[in-house]
Chains A and B, each alone.
Chain A
Amino acid sequence: MNLIEQQVWDYLDGTCTGQEHKKIEYLINNDQAYRSIYAELKSLHFDLSKIELDEPSMSFTRNVMDKVAGSPVPGSIRSLVDKRIIYSIAAFFAISMIAMLAVTLSQIDWTQPASTALPEYEIPKVNYLSIMDGTFFRIFLFADLILGLYFLDSIMRKSMLSNNR
């Protein structure tokens, strides 16, 4: 693209400075090369602003609204969960962790033991069979089974809904 064209486009778009604008205007009025390019580009500039936009299908808006219908109101989830609540929970956990760390550190005996040998520690023996036979264990298994069936049901419902759509 030549310089004249570029200058004329800047003039037509109104993106040149006041001084440049006057200079190009003068050249258009007095220079044949500028004048012919100006006439050509001005016509194209005008035509471009007059071309028609394409029209989508008649059902366009309806299709969009159908897709949008299942979505929650924008921002509704965020507005329900106040940021202050999240910060409070975070602060609670942070303070708890710091407090536990402080208590643990304060209870440590920092004095160096006379001997470097580690104290002996015997791991208590656990009778796992007695736990497995217990009533509580059975209740625990039964609750797990109920929860498992509940989640399976919700997953199947979701997949059925998406298949219907």
Chain B
Amino acid sequence: MQNKTSDIELIKQVLAGDQGSYAELVRRHQRFVFTLALRFTKNREDAEEVAQDCFVKAYRSLNNFQQTAKFSTWLYTIVYTTSMTFLRKKKLDTDSIDSEGSQIQLENHVSDFRSDQVEQKSKYAYLTMAINQLLPDDAAIITLFYKGEQSLEEVAKAMGMESNTVKVKLHRARHRLKEKLEALLHHEVKELL
């Protein structure tokens, strides 16, 4: 609640002409915006570009923000639409992301981890790897729900969908995540044996 009030206070200061206050807003939300962009782009350079673009867009249309809603929900709407536009521009085939691309990423991760001692792998690292293997939409919905402190209704608003659609999509995304995680862990057990 405190966070929400502070965000709105900062926005008022920006609208009054204090551009420096926007830097504080950026610092506050940059990690989540970057993570969400990364779920779509699947590489850090593009994610950084998309995330920066989102903050610039948010700044330019800050006067359109309805201060009755959460700033984060409004910002995530911008992230979602900007990321989707980015994907369309890049003409990424979402099916190939699921199979080829993320497989390559996974192999890189595994080899990196192997060199860093396999036993130090945490379950969170596996979980992140499994999320990276999901389709962008699935990865984004899980990130928004668990890390964005957004209710199902707010996630729906950010993604421009109905609450029930988001609920079903979240169930499916978690199911697919569980499958990916099981496959990863199974692969790892085989490697250790």
Contact = CB atoms under 8 A, between A and B. Distances in A.
A69 interface: yes
A75 interface: yes
Interface string B37-61: 0100000100110011001100111
A63 to B, nearest CB: 6
In this complex, the member of B35, B44, B170, B174 whose beta carbon has the largest number of chain A beta carbons within 10 angstroms is B174
A57 B27 CA distance: 12
Give the size category of A's interface with B: 20 to 34
A61 B124 CA distance: 27
Nearest to A2: B175
A126 to B, nearest CB: 53
B141 to A, nearest CB: 12
Contacts of B174: 9, 44, 48
B56 A68 contact: yes
A21 to B, nearest CB: 16
A71 interface: yes
Contacts of A9: 170-171, 174
B60 A71 contact: yes
- The dominant DSSP class at the A interface is helix
Contact of A74 (B44, B51, B60): B60
- The dominant DSSP class at the B interface is helix
Given A15-B152, A54-B38, A73 B147 contact: no
B85 interface: no
Given A52-B124, A56-B48, A61 B23 contact: yes
Interface string A52-78: 111111001101110111010111101
Interface residues of B, number: 44
B22 A51 contact: no
A58 to B, nearest CB: 11
Given A60-B34, A65-B22, 4 more contacts: A51-B127, A54-B47, A60-B51, A68-B19
23 contacts: A9-B170, A9-B171, A44-B178, A47-B127, A51-B131, A51-B147, A52-B124, A53-B35, A54-B31, A54-B38, A55-B31, A60-B30, A60-B52, A68-B22, A68-B56, A69-B19, A73-B19, A74-B14, A74-B15, A74-B60, A74-B62, A74-B63, A75-B63
The 7 A-B pairs at the shortest CB distance, nearest first, are namely: A75-B63, A74-B62, A56-B34, A53-B31, A1-B175, A48-B146, A64-B55
